[in-house]
């Protein structure tokens, strides 16, 4: 608060000496608060590391069994820690601004310091006039509201009852949750920078000068926020069971929308810098980007998305506080913009439709349309709440709340695919236009060759890639091919631009490189979405009849049951569940799933690999499986595998009994689902549970099993004598049939053998698995890396130019 007041006073004071004095005080105050924020971080991490469970935050988000590598995840697993992380990043940004912003230091730091006041209020945890302000991460467990009145709280030795912590949410126990949140929160924090510079320009009436300093910051913010979003997509792809990297979840949308408006603001800023056009639009986009970050924070942390998102936090009673936080920035920013709207420089002359700035503005509007559509649907819980609070629900005789879309993917994609098409085309073409005006025919001439190459490439990709995605009808297939052309066009046209216009000089081609990355991202999204294939098809219908329960969203026909050591056909592969393993101190169970691909004619194995998807039951009381997938990565595809069900481990005994049958080769034995035939006796048996030793006398009974559904299996139970006197048998099973056969003895006088047969009622040696093939997923990830490289190149060039000036 001292820093905020001091920097405001420095801006408002006309006397140079007073300005300097106030600024100096503001600097010291901000440095002290930054040091304090780092001290808070250190203390809280120290408490987590040492398992000080007397603190509620430590007890709620960690446990003694939690690996040290995930302690950072437990730091930002809850609201108090994530707000602290956000405050740390803003402190670092403020320290950089104080060294680099020069004449804009005081107004920018005033905005930044005010934001720090708001963030600090989120973790202060005190009562003001009866209202609780924030939630204190250092609240003692005995003082937690939910524990008041419990007998153990009053005991001086109460900590002897707290043996361990509640533990970290299982979905957060992943290395991505160590690296993804810090990057994403740096993206969140950095959006205040273009906001602060834009506000500083309005405040000080320096309507144009702020642009130069704001451009590198806006590029940095867009890069970090975009990187954080895509790291979240990679986390979802590698560690969650969404069946992909993006599901249009409301919390995902809440991060994406500010990025869209921020990118729109960057492009209108570039248009203004070159021509003087679109300054008001730039103010709007930079203001709304930070406001949307605050709005997404409200959505995520108010609990309002509890029924529509798997990511949202529970409400800690800070909903009203978050709305006040938003108002503190919304009202001054847009109020000042309205008051000074006539003073903001505007060029009355209409732009030429053959000018770059005209189409940059159109592109910004398209991004805004995308943001509006996503925000409107994401905010359905907010609309329902507002309708109730305002009484409009009764006015319009609404019996039910507005329902979210039943098929979110189609709901968003049917609009966003057309927006992506337009953006891809603009990304390819706009840079070939000149600012202010372009001679007729010049753009066409330069784009002729890239356009022809793109058309040919699109045709080849569609033909060779067999893109026939018609899930939503033929009209959607047309959109798919238009998006395919637009994304290919964006890549090829920008590569051509680097050589045609920049003469191959990559150091000045940051924007083109970023555009190439964007085109690759669009191409990767298109191919993986249209060609994603479920290969775990249950053709035997083993999981029909409500296996997953009536409330489950799993499609039983897209899941395979894999009995132990029993190869099952899955696409081009034979897949075998080879067992599981656990490690001391690790709650996960790791499942060994072996894939084999054979030559159809000879049966020779031409490819084999093992995946290790893992899973564990929730540590929060509910008996829900929390799986982590595993993938086999190829250059052109990924095979994505995760566990969807495992047998419940209990102490129920198997009451089924073995029945004896004396048979000889050629005889049949019937059971409830079919029959089997003893084909022959094998002197060198092959059973995965039998390991021969020197001196063994062993024989196997080769059985051919036939079921009522015309399915066929083979079995080979083993009987052997070891050390000349000890007799043993190794049973064999057909797990899908719960059929067990034991070779009990040889009856040499009758030329028969005795087999014992059992059909178990408690078959529990299996897993249920789901597997996808994601073709060319690497196109998406390469596109992300290329886009980040483009942003870095642009930031370097802008900072270098700023230093020269």
High-pLDDT (> 90) share of the chain, %: 48
User: Residue 578: is it exposed, middle or buried by C-beta count within 10 angstroms (0-12/13-18/19+)?
Assistant: middle
pLDDT at residue 32 in the model: 97
Give the CA distances from residue 204 to residues 10, 14, 192, 336, in Å, rounded to whole numbers and listed in that order: 12, 12, 18, 11
Question: For residue 486, is pLDDT > 90?
Answer: yes
Give the CA distances from residue 136 to residues 42, 127, 745, 792, in Å, rounded to whole numbers and listed in that order: 15, 11, 72, 38
Q: Which of 26-40, 547-561, 728-742 has the lowest mean pLDDT?
A: 547-561
pLDDT at residue 622 in the model: 41
Give the ranges where 191-318 is alpha helix by DSSP (H).
Answer: 192-203, 210-239, 250-275, 279-301
| Each residue's pLDDT tens digit, 650-667 | 545 556 788 899 999 999
CA–chain centroid gap for 79, Å, is: 19
**If pLDDT is split at 50, 70 and 90, which confidence band does 762 have?**
low
pLDDT at residue 221 in the model: 96
Structure tokens at 109: 């730091």
pLDDT at residue 448 in the model: 92
What is this structure's pTM? 0.84
| Rounded CA Rg of the chain | 33
Q: Please, what is the average pLDDT of the chain?
A: 87
**If pLDDT is split at 50, 70 and 90, which confidence band does 619 have?**
very low
CB 561 within 8 A of CB 542: yes
**If pLDDT is split at 50, 70 and 90, which confidence band does 711 have?**
confident
CA 9-14-15 angle, 5° bins: 95
Q: Is the pLDDT higher at 549 or at 685?
A: 685
CB 606 within 8 A of CB 598: yes
Mean pLDDT value of segment 432-459: 90
Cα(693)–Cα(669) distance, integer angstroms: 31
Cα(672)–Cα(731) distance, integer angstroms: 19
Q: Is the pLDDT higher at 499 or at 688?
A: 499
Q: Which of 269-278, 502-511, 724-733 has the lowest mean pLDDT?
A: 724-733
High-pLDDT (> 70) share of the chain, %: 93
**If pLDDT is split at 50, 70 and 90, which confidence band does 765 have?**
confident
Cα(674)–Cα(663) distance, integer angstroms: 17
């Amino acid at each position: 608060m001292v820093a905020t007041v001091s920097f405001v006073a420095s801006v408002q004071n006309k006397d140079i000496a007073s300005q300097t004095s106030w600024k100096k005080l503001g600097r010291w105050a901000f440095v002290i608060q930054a040091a304090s924020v780092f001290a808070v971080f250190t203390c809280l991490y120290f408490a987590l590391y040492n398992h000080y469970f007397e603190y509620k935050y430590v007890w709620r988000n960690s446990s003694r069994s939690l690996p040290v590598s995930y302690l950072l995840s437990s730091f930002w697993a809850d609201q108090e820690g994530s707000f602290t992380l956000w405050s740390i990043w803003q402190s670092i940004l403020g320290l950089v601004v104080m060294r680099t912003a020069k004449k804009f230091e005081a107004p920018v730091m005033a905005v930044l310091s005010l934001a720090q006041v708001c963030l600090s209020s989120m973790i202060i945890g005190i009562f003001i006039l009866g209202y609780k302000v924030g939630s204190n991460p250092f609240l003692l467990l005995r003082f937690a509201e939910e524990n008041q009145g419990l007998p153990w709280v009053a005991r001086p030795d109460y900590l002897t009852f707290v043996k361990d912590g509640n533990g970290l949410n299982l979905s957060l126990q992943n290395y991505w949750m160590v690296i993804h949140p810090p990057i994403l929160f740096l993206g969140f924090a950095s959006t205040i920078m273009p906001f602060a510079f834009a506000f500083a320009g309005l405040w000080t009436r320096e309507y144009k000068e702020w642009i130069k300093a704001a451009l590198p910051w806006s590029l940095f913010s867009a890069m970090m926020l975009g990187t954080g979003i895509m790291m979240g997509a990679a986390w979802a792809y590698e560690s969650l069971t969404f069946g992909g990297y993006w599901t249009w979840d409301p919390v995902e949308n809440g991060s994406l929308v500010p990025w869209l408006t921020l990118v729109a603001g960057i492009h209108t800023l570039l248009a203004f810098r070159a021509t003087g056009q679109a300054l008001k639009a730039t103010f709007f986009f930079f203001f709304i980007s930070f406001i949307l970050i605050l709005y997404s924070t409200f959505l995520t942390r108010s609990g309002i998305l509890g029924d529509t998102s798997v990511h949202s936090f529970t409400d800690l009673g800070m909903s009203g506080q978050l709305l006040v936080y938003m108002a503190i920035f919304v009202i001054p920013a847009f109020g000042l913009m309205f008051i000074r709207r006539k003073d903001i420089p505007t060029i009355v002359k209409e732009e030429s439709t053959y000018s770059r700035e005209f189409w940059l503005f159109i592109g910004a509007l398209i991004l805004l349309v995308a943001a509006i559509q996503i925000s409107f649907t994401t905010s359905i819980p907010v609309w329902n709440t507002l309708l109730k609070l305002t009484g409009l629900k009764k006015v319009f005789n609404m019996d039910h709340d507005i329902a979210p879309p039943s098929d979110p993917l189609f709901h968003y994609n049917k609009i966003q695919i057309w927006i992506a098409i337009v953006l891809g085309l603009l990304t390819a073409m706009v840079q070939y236009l000149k600012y202010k005006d372009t001679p007729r025919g010049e753009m066409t001439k330069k784009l002729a060759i890239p356009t022809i190459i793109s058309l040919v490439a699109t045709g080849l990709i569609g033909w060779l890639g067999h893109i026939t995605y018609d899930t939503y009808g033929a009209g959607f297939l047309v959109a798919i091919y238009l998006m395919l052309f637009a994304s290919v066009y964006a890549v090829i046209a920008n590569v051509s631009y680097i050589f045609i216009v920049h003469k191959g000089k990559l150091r000045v081609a940051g924007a083109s490189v970023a555009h190439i990355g964007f085109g690759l991202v669009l191409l990767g999204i298109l191919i993986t979405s249209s060609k994603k294939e479920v290969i775990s098809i249950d053709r035997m219908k083993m999981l029909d009849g409500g296996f997953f329960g009536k409330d489950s969203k799993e499609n039983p026909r897209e899941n395979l049951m894999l009995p132990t050591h029993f190869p099952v056909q899955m696409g081009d592969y034979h897949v075998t569940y080879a067992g599981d393993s656990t490690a001391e101190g690790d709650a996960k169970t790791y499942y060994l799933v072996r894939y084999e691909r054979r030559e159809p004619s000879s049966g020779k194995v031409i490819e084999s690999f093992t995946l290790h998807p893992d899973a564990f039951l929730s540590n929060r009381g509910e008996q829900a499986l929390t799986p982590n997938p595993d993938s086999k990565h190829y250059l052109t595809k990924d095979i994505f595998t995760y566990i969807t069900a495992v047998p419940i481990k209990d102490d129920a005994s198997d009451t089924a009994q073995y029945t004896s049958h004396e048979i000889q080769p050629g005889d049949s034995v019937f059971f409830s689902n079919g029959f089997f035939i003893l084909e022959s006796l094998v002197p060198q048996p092959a059973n995965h549970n039998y390991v021969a030793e020197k001196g063994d006398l062993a024989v196997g009974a080769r059985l051919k099993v036939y079921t009522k559904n015309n399915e066929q299996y083979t079995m080979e139970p083993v009987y052997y004598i070891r050390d000349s006197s000890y007799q043993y048998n190794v049973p064999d099973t057909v797990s899908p049939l719960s059929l067990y056969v034991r070779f009990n003895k040889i009856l040499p006088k009758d030329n028969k053998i005795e087999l014992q047969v059992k059909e178990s009622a408690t078959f529990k040696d299996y897993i249920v698995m789901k597997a996808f093939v994601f073709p060319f997923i690497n196109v998406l990830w390469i596109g992300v890396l290329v886009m980040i490289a483009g942003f870095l190149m642009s930031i370097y060039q802008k900072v270098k130019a700023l230093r020269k000036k």
